[in-house]
A = this chain, B = another copy of it.
Amino acid sequence: MPRLKERTPELRDRVLRVAVPMLEAGGVSGFTARRLAAQAKTSTPALYELFGDKGGLVREVFFEGFRMLRRRFDTLDDTPDPRADLVQVIGAIRSFVRDNPVLAEVMFSRPFADFDPGTDETAAGGSVREFIVGRVRRCIDAGVIEGNETDIAHVLLALTQGLAGQENAGWLGTSESSVDRRWALAVNAALDGLGPATPRARRAQS
């Protein structure tokens, strides 16, 4: 007897497909429920039925960001050099952040007061982290670096996130070359320091 439902999972998908480019184009402050509803040719109450609240909406964009990053990893190909492959994945994260700075802020920072990614949402990056752990493991197996693969992945991800955040904010340097140089220095130093038989590294265990 009622009318046909329009607030379906299909609408949800359409909204999300509109949301990501709109976030990137309009920035955090331009990302409002009303504007998104208008742009997706629906109403604000529809958004609230589909996503609960603004935080739920941002949460889905957050998840979509990690899916996009993971998809970018699929375009990378393995080489015989495990260390180069690990450097490559870090470079892929860097270029992702440069291509999608606002989305990256949602993923790695907390620009929306309504959405605080907690430990639950950590799992969203799980598939991303798995990929990195895989490449870390190959380095460990090859004897390029030593230690616990999870710990090392965390460290490399933190370093990458810190560098990307600083580059994004324009703090890492003014010229392209100095920024590149610092990226290279950081990544190489970290990998070298994680390598085997570095005398001082033994301190970490004691």
Interface residues of A (CB under 8 A from B): 27-29, 105, 108-111, 113-114, 117-119, 122, 125, 147, 151-152, 154-155, 157-163, 165-166, 169-174, 178, 181-182, 184-186, 188-195, 198, 200-201, 203-204
Contact = CB atoms under 8 A, between A and B. Distances in A.
A154 B172 contact: yes
Given A154-B172, A154-B173, A191-B200, 4 more contacts: A111-B113, A154-B166, A188-B203, A195-B200
A89 to B, nearest CB: 16
A201 B189 contact: yes
A188 B201 CA distance: 6
In the A-B complex, the 9 residue pairs with the smallest Cβ-Cβ separation, listed nearest first, are A162-B162, A193-B193, A189-B193, A192-B193, A29-B113, A158-B162, A188-B204, A155-B186, A161-B162
A155 B185 contact: yes
Contacts of A166: 154, 157-158, 161
Contact of A200 (B28, B172, B192, B200): B192
Contact of A162 (B114, B117, B165, B203): B165
Interface of A is mostly: helix
A171 B122 contact: yes
A174 B155 CA distance: 15
A16 B178 CA distance: 36
A65 B63 CA distance: 32
Contacts of A173: 154
